[in-house]
Chains A and B, each alone.
Chain A
């Protein structure tokens, strides 16, 4: 029996695909199974193909694969779109009583289950529950105890009242029974449940949760896919902790509000995607120049311009690394998994305040919209540390004043980090500016002061390089001659690819790098390997270029930029091909 189950529901946008998928994912998670979801959606609200895919196993799953076991097809197109991934044991659930699905074309070897989704839903209380009927049918096919679905339905519809919950449970039962009674077939699936407790969340939610755990009190943003969920998550929760979310009129306003709140002393954040980052760039320079702690989240999507808003890409690395006129000290931190989105967000706030710099948290669409199960301990609130850096209060302000008693918020210290006084602190009144300034924060064009202040700001980066552990995460065979490096959400598929490679006796050392700037020095690792391959979702190999620049060594690249994230099996094949090419060359 197969323990790894790949399930999907697909239809038109507006068919409730997303929430139905989420209910099933939750049911699986509550049954102690690991879940990894992916979404295929178009940038429109009604019309257009949408699918929600779930890979589930008793082991942790990190990636999607090219296989679909159970497909709930609300449209013919759903079947057409997924033909490549269907196999001879695949089961397709569809509504053969609906005129548009009557003559549905199920490829020969697959099993088509025509279930009157709409009619059964009407029997249960309303056609709107047709997707729930399909979930019940899927439970029967997978031999998945339907009680698990009940608790997910409780959670989803609980707030809407008992009747709605009960009708949905009934709809699921009707779907289950229909398959039981009408199809005398022994399906290939009989999945296990466990007693484990998992939580199921996506990267955007993990970023929002990390922000709240870290004491973020102010968030301003402007809606943009795929970053909006961060704002939606915080909205309704941040108030509980004494904070607020402001929906700004645009990204220029969003980052400036966040800057203002940060100057007032709040832990402050904004999140957007590429086009919004473009608009924020001028203020990004001001944030750095005024030495304001600020977390700026870029949930990357496919560019340039409005590109493919609902598709994966890691194309903004150069922009976060080099964006802005002039030279700007900054942090660029790129979480590599959903749970790292939580941890790195907390770290981002600490970096921002310890070093008084802007911090880019560079996430990507694949990770942001992917729901994944984790044990709750991965989000350990007791482990959260809050480091606010060099805050001075009215008692120690004198130590930082000049002969005239004026506070020096940009005092050129040895580590580059100056004292910070929150507004309201007696004796700390000072001005911050984007203009070059002296230690008081006042404009200057004095050549020596200019150099002193530029050096001071850059010294913070050196200090961070010394003090912070920026090491990459390591997987695979540490003695292998083949080194694969990736950043961002490629870690998941790459880790699974290691398993596939091992099965074929290919040994690989894998480094997943969350710190883009400042970053670890990988020269020794690169020099120790015969073959270095950098994996990333962009065309030009932005991170590969950085590594070549740092290590003065040419590296191989695996780049994907068709809008779809890497899959584990595909990645394993590409790595084998790269190694094979080298052998024959």
Chain B
């Protein structure tokens, strides 16, 4: 890791193909800044992306990366990180990817508390498939598949995470560049699963949860007297359906990541040329 890494080193030479104005630009820039700030470089970074407009991020960034199948980015990230703890693993995806098709994995990744960060670009719509309701869409949000609105309450991802035992829960707004990067950086630095839900507006299909909406609605926890180590205070904020908070909402400072609890240390890519020296003991067990 070299200290002179700049965030642009994480940019690939491929120009993003997102719609002009898409929130994902800002989300990605913040991620790259945070990676550079935390002393990482492209050769020790592994970005795992889901499927969706959000999932394209791996293409526009320069690092080791995989762009997998819809909804399964978290298990992939888990495998990467456990197999090589020296890598900085960052998983990215959309609200559909993470809270719908991948919702099961989300809960379990939170519980597992592997030391990686998870950035969800929450635009409250399915972008790539052109505008259907997502699990975070509002109850009355009219879309091509919900002409009268989904008529079911949106998922509260932060509450899901909290109830699953999250050790780090944060929320940010993609266009508030400095705060967003700072929050992602905290997620990277956290010893365990650092979850950040990012408001990342879709300018093409979502005319409700817009930049203007978020700008007005957001309450920055830095401006409030919020103690992120206080579980009850965090719970109160998370269950407050009337406000959109930004900042680190909850962090368990005593978090012990999965690999430490399970005694996983080395880089698993290094193996002997033949069977391990004491392999014959494995046979003797069957006498």
Contacts and interface: CB of A to CB of B under 8 A. Distances in A.
Interface stretch (B57-65, B132-140, B172-180, B231-239): B57-65
B83 A250 contact: no
Interface string B247-287: 00000000000000011111111011111100110111011
Interface string B217-255: 000000000000000000000000000000000000000
B267 A265 contact: yes
Interface stretch (B20-28, B41-49, B199-207): B41-49
A342 B279 CA distance: 13
A261 B268 contact: yes
A423 B84 contact: yes
A510 interface: no
Interface residues of A, number: 72
Q: Which of B62, B74, B80, B269 lies at the interface centre, i.e. has the most chain A CB atoms within 10 A of its CB? A: B269
A290 B64 CA distance: 13
Given A244-B262, A422-B269, A427 B43 contact: yes
Contacts of B76: 256-257, 259-260, 263
B83 A260 contact: yes
B4 interface: no
B13 interface: yes
Interface of A is mostly: mixed
Interface in A400-452: 404, 406, 422-435, 442-443
Nearest to A30: B287
Contact of A212 (B44, B268, B279): B279
A424 B64 CA distance: 8
B104 to A, nearest CB: 6
A286 interface: yes
Interface in B108-123: 108
A529 interface: no
A427 B267 CA distance: 19
B208 interface: no
Interface in B50-100: 58-59, 62-69, 71-72, 74-84, 86-87
A214 B84 CA distance: 18
Nearest to B79: A260
A283 B72 contact: yes
Contacts of B59: 431, 433, 442-443
Interface in A239-256: 239, 241-244, 246, 248-250, 252-254, 256
A249 B110 CA distance: 12
A476 to B, nearest CB: 30
A258 B105 CA distance: 14
A381 interface: yes
Contacts of B42: 429
Contact of A220 (B46, B79, B271): B79
B75 A209 contact: no
Interface in A17-36: 29-30
Given A199-B286, A237-B282, A425-B43, A260 B78 contact: yes
B282 A209 contact: yes
Interface stretch (A45-53, A382-390, A484-492, A495-503): A382-390
B43 A426 contact: yes
B79 A268 contact: yes
Interface string A216-243: 0110100000000000000001010111
Given A209-B283, A242-B266, A434-B68, A261 B44 contact: no
Contacts of A334: none
A23 B68 CA distance: 47
A197 interface: yes
A433 B83 contact: no
B82 A244 contact: yes
A221 B286 CA distance: 24
A250 B104 contact: yes
Contacts of B107: 249
Contacts of A265: 83-84, 267-269
B65 A424 contact: no
Interface string A568-583: 0000000000000000
Contact of B72 (A205, A253, A424, A431): A253
Contacts of A237: 282
A218 B83 contact: yes
A205 B130 CA distance: 49
Nearest to A206: B286
B108 A263 contact: no
Given A256-B75, A422-B269, A435 B282 contact: no
Given A242-B268, A404-B13, A264 B46 contact: yes
Given A200-B286, A212-B282, A264 B87 contact: yes
26 contacts: A198-B287, A215-B276, A217-B83, A218-B268, A220-B75, A241-B276, A253-B74, A253-B104, A257-B75, A260-B76, A264-B81, A264-B268, A290-B66, A376-B284, A379-B282, A381-B274, A381-B280, A382-B274, A384-B274, A386-B274, A404-B13, A406-B13, A431-B58, A431-B64, A431-B66, A434-B67
Given A261-B80, A422-B269, 20 more contacts: A199-B283, A242-B268, A244-B262, A248-B108, A249-B108, A253-B72, A253-B105, A256-B69, A257-B79, A260-B80, A262-B79, A263-B76, A265-B268, A282-B69, A376-B287, A381-B282, A386-B271, A422-B84, A432-B66, A433-B67
Interface of A: 29-30, 197-201, 205, 209, 212-215, 217-218, 220, 237, 239, 241-244, 246, 248-250, 252-254, 256-268, 282-283, 285-286, 290, 376, 379, 381-382, 384-386, 404, 406, 422-435, 442-443
